[in-house]
Amino acid sequence: MLVLPPLAAILGVLVWGYMGLPGFGARIGEYGNLINEHAQGQRHITNYVTAVMFDYRGLDTLIEEFILFTAVMGLVLLLRSGRDVAEQRPRDIVTSDAVRTVGSLLSPVLLLFGLWVITFGYITPGGGFQGGVIASGGALMLWVAGSYRHFRRLSASTVLDASEGLGAAAYVAVGFIGLTAGAAFLTNTLPLGSAGTLASSGTIAALNWAAGVEVTAAFVLIYHEFLEEYIQTFPGVKGER
């Protein structure tokens, strides 16, 4: 009962705040108007959200990417340091035909769709962050449908560690291209190409792919480490590794 008054107060503040929001389709503000007016001409890009993320506020996105990188590395170090190396490797066996069938079908679909979202992220809605999360789901579905122990070698932890680091380092490396050209860090100095094509937007395309690689590897690492913890609860099978 004691929690009800503060919950009621929080609800009242939320309702009061929502009632003050502008109506649907209202003016989006001067910053949004400037982006809508100049983004395509300045950056030859058709997805203005990606233009903001990887160009106009690309430094903020760099910080966000390294927040994800640091969080995942912390998780990996914490779980791996406390995990016993079992001599007997338990094997998770998928007994449901429905899980095997649905998971097997979804795995390649999610992987390809995620790659498509990354590839066309600066032309149509999408981008490296969104596509990376979707693509990582392909690995998760494969493990769920066909036994994690059976398919874990397809995504070795050393490769995942290197891929995440490579994605984060590539973002910084693209930023240094601006410095070598005598401009500021992350300045868009590559050829802009033609709007609406894959050969467009200059450094935005490269930064988009760097984020896609880092996010994909980061989420696969998260699934990998949590499944490693979960699999320890299975009874061991003598001789399996």
Per-residue confidence in pLDDT tens, the chain, 241 aa: 788 999 999 999 999 998 888 777 777 678 888 999 999 999 999 999 999 999 999 999 999 999 999 999 999 999 888 776 554 555 667 767 888 888 889 999 999 999 999 999 999 999 999 999 999 999 889 888 877 777 777 777 888 899 999 999 999 999 999 999 899 999 999 999 999 999 999 999 999 999 999 999 999 999 988 888 877 776 654 444 4
Indicate whether this model's pTM tops 0.95: no
d(CA 111, CA 212) in angstroms, rounded, equals 12
Q: Per the domain annotation, does 90 fall within a domain?
A: no
Q: Per the domain annotation, does 122 fall within a domain?
A: yes
Q: Per the domain annotation, does 3 fall within a domain?
A: no
Q: Per the domain annotation, does 1 fall within a domain?
A: no
| Whether 178 contacts 79, CB under 8 Å | no
Q: Per the domain annotation, does 65 fall within a domain?
A: yes
Burial of 49 (0-12, 13-18, 19+ CB in 10 A): middle
Q: Per the domain annotation, does 18 fall within a domain?
A: no
Domain total of the chain: 1
* Identity at 81, one-letter amino acid code: S
Query: Which residue range forms the structural domain that includes residue 225?
Result: 30-79+95-233
